[in-house]
Structure 1
Amino acid sequence: MRIAIVTESFLPTLNGVTTSVCRVLDCLRAAGHEALVVCPGPAPSSYQGFPVHTVMGVTLRQFRVGLPSYDLERVLKDFQPDVVHAASPFGLGARGLAAARNLRIPAVAIYQTDMPSYLKQHGGRAGGIVEKASWRWIRHLHTLADLTLVPSSQTLQELSDHGVPRTALWSRGVDTVMFDPDRRHEAEVSDLRDMLAPRGETIVGYVGRLAPEKEVHRLAEIADLPGVSLCIVGDGPSRASLERLLPRASFLGYRSGLPLAHAYAALDVFAHTGTKETFGQTLQEAMAAGLPVVAPAAGGPLDIVRPGVTGLLFDPDHGGALRQAVGGLVADATMRERMGSAGRAKVADRSWAGLVDELVAYYQSVIEPSWSPRTTTAA
């Protein structure tokens, strides 16, 4: 199969969209498919042997944004894909979906970023108006796709409520080899734990981008819990303000690969703070690392966390709920161990290879839809 992936974000920019696209490309290569990547520049000229075509981009709030290019139709026509995959489309992705429609190429859109909430949060007094306008735009651009895949049941319902047609559920994979409870016994992790908790404190950590939409300020509720060492992994525009808000916390900065796996392994409890997440990939990574997780009872975490089994959900509208949930886990090492083991078991079979097999099946469903005369078996 030949797949053209038009993505709003790609290397060297590192975020959830880039990570998902790279894992999909890894698995497509392993399965023998052909792919083309279209993304904002600058970017590598190839990835996994697949060509990368860049379009002009601009930087907004530390994000590289691709500008819609009418050159896309020529690029797609030259590559002749069986399907176009639009990763978290908004600007460049919308143009990719329009080009696919003009060329009569089947298209699958992946809804990953809650852009309306993001724009509302950063829109100031006009935030509500901007949010409504963005939903109109999202409904329009996803109408151009033959199928829109969303990562959680909550998001599936939200898109339905806003009139987005032809949706289906497609989750995310996790690297259970990289994120493994056994890493807790590695020397690098022991050294990190000694640094973070020199007096044997329980280490509670957050991993993710440090930006307003991630609501990391909620961690102030637990910053003074007795016997707790707070660890924050990640970087972003909110780092300076968070360092002022949480002066006793340890900020480890951005980590990826093995250093990230070591950071997870050094924690005792994982705390997630954002209420507008369409999924919650760091929750899966923490569970793979054998950690009990605490997250808001909102959005993607509702599908990932099984309360009382793999972790705890807290009411984000109730002051002190996060503190109560984390405090309960800090006080009970046996419960932490039980939930961590259950979380690891829950995600053990969520490999990216299996999730990409599902994705390829979705590709096939729009290339040869069940109603197509070409799929009708002759009598």
Structure 2
Amino acid sequence: MRVGIVAESFLPNVNGVTNSVLRVLEHLKREGHEAMVVAPGARDFQDEIPDYLGFEIVRVPTVMVPLVDSLPIGVPTTTVAAALAGFKPDIIHLASPFVLGGAGAFAARQIGVPAVALYQTDVAGFATKYHLPMVANLAWEWTRTIHNMSEMTLAPSSSYIRELEAHGIKNVRHWGRGVDTELFNPAKRSEVLRRAWDPTGEKKIVGFIGRLAAEKSVHRLAPLVDDPSVQLVIVGGGPERDELEALLPTAVFTGPLGGEELARAYASLDLFVHTGEFETFCQAIQEAQASGVPTIGPRAGGPIDLIKHGENGLLLEVPTFEAELPDAARWVLDDARHADLQRAARASVENKTWAALGDQLLGYYSEVLDAYERNVVHLFGRDVALPRWAPARLGQPRRQARRDDTA
């Protein structure tokens, strides 16, 4: 199978979209498939990589958008359609489509290839957080257009499946995220690191790991800052770091971490608190759970599916999150139940491997390809391929079943 991926974000920018694309590419490589990625360029050309695991990365120019200054936005040029047409994919994978992915959706129709769109970013929710209600309404209209141009939409949580369907998006299916349970593991807990954060060795370590931006609402940790029994640790970078350092003067700010350093940071926490309500999935919660760390999150979006209230952590109502947080943290950190919560956190993700999720994704690809094949044969006969949106191509010879090309 040949998979053309149009990614709204990719290396060197590291975020949820990038990470899931990397895991998909790794699975495609293991299973012997071919892939190509169209993605935004880096702010510094020297940071770009020409390929990943031997799969070509085609870059488009980028622009910087106010309020999301660390995330380059890919410009939807004609490169998108040209690169995909040249690659001749069997299926097109749209990773969190909005700007560049929108061009990918149109290109899929132009070249007559089915598309699967992965909903990963709540753009409308972010717009609301940034006090742009008109942009939020337009974002939903555009999201509906892009996703309904695709044959299938994959959403990472039950709450967002319901929300997408409520906004008129069709054929929405569930596809979660895997987690690396070898990298993120309770065995990575480091007493040396904990002592560096808390020289007294007497405090409970409560942490947030993620992008320091408005939509993450990290300011909601403020009720814990004066608790003498708690040491706050903030891992990550972003445009709100300076403001948060002023708001949380006793917190330890590590900056962004990756790999083993990140794994040690997760495992060295006693409690992970995710504060933002616009997460379509929230991989950080899964990584904390894999590290044996109980979690607190908002009763909204992805965390609802990940946190089993009272078993591996707690869900707090969004309007009262800050008011509830101190008591919730004390409940989780109570020595009478903390060890049970730790064990339950790890157990809740042990079967959520990327290999299993990769196989599920390939199953969705096959389902889309089979349905697409049946529709084309039904409408135009077995020897003619004509996308129903492009009547000018009626009568052109059809290339034989795409999946046979790489058999």
TM-score normalized by the length of structure 2: 0.88
Partner residue, 2:383: none
Residues 1-379 of structure 1: matches in 2 within 5 Å? 1-42=1-42, 43-60=48-65, 61-122=69-130, 124=131, 127-184=132-189, 189-199=190-200, 200-318=202-320, 319-330=322-333, 332-369=334-371, 372=374
Task: Judge conservation of contact 1:225–1:327 (CA < 8 Å) in 2.
Answer: no
SS in 2 for 1:372: helix
**Cα displacement (A) at 1:280:** 1.0
Deviations 1:31-69 (A, max 9, x none): 111100000113311001101111111122211110111
User: Which whole-Å CA distance do the structure 1 matches of 2:82 and 2:295 have between them?
Assistant: 47
The total of aligned residue pairs comes to 368
The runs of 5 or more residues in structure 2 that have no matched partner are 43-47, 379-407
Q: Is the CA contact 1:316–1:322 (under 8 Å) kept in the aligned structure 2?
A: no
Q: What is the match of residue 397 of structure 2?
A: none
Answer yes or no: is the 8 Å Cα contact 1:7–1:37 preserved in 2: yes
CA separation in 2, counterparts of 1:94 and 1:371?
Answer: 23
In structure 2, relative to structure 1, the CA distance for the partners of 1:373 and 1:278 (3 Å cut) is: closer
Which 5+ residue runs of structure 1 have no aligned equivalent? Answer: none
User: Alignment partner of 1:193: what SS?
Assistant: helix
In 2, Cα distance between equivalents of 1:30 and 1:140: 33
Letter in 1 for 2:275: T
**Shift of residue 226, structure 1, vs aligned partner:** 3.2
Alpha-carbon distance in 1 for matches of 2:191, 2:366: 47
Separation in structure 1 between the aligned mates of residue 219 and residue 24 of structure 2, nearest angstrom: 33
Partner of residue 382, structure 2? none
| Distance (whole Å) between structure 2 residues aligned to residue 95 and residue 310 of structure 1 | 41
% identical aligned pairs = 44
d(CA) in 2 for partners of 1:82, 1:157: 29
Residue by residue over 1:77-99, the C-alpha shift from the partner in whole angstroms, topping out at 9 and shown as x without a partner, is 21111100000000110101111
Q: Secondary structure at the match of 1:320?
A: helix
Shift of 1:191: 1.4
For the pair shown, the structure with the greater C-alpha radius of gyration is: 2
- Please state whether the residue corresponding to 2:113 is helix, strand or coil: coil
**Is the contact made by 1:174 and 1:350 (CA closer than 8 Å) also made in structure 2?**
yes
Please tell me whether the aligned partners of residues 5 and 35 of structure 2 are also in contact (alpha carbons under 8 angstroms).
yes
What amino acid does structure 2 have at the position aligned with 1:360? L
Instruction: Tell me the distance in 1 between the aligned counterparts of 2:126 and 2:28.
Output: 31
Q: Which amino acid aligns with 1:171?
A: G
Contact 2:180 2:353 in 1 (8 A): yes
Give the root-mean-square deviation of aligned CA atoms: 1.5
1:370, CA displacement in angstroms? 8.4
Q: 1:36 corresponds to which letter in structure 2?
A: M
Query: Which amino acid in 2 is paired with 1:237?
Result: P
Residues 115 and 150 of structure 2 are in contact (CA less than 8 Å); yes or no, is this contact kept in structure 1?
A: yes
Task: Compute the TM-score of the two structures, normalised by the length of structure 1.
Answer: 0.94
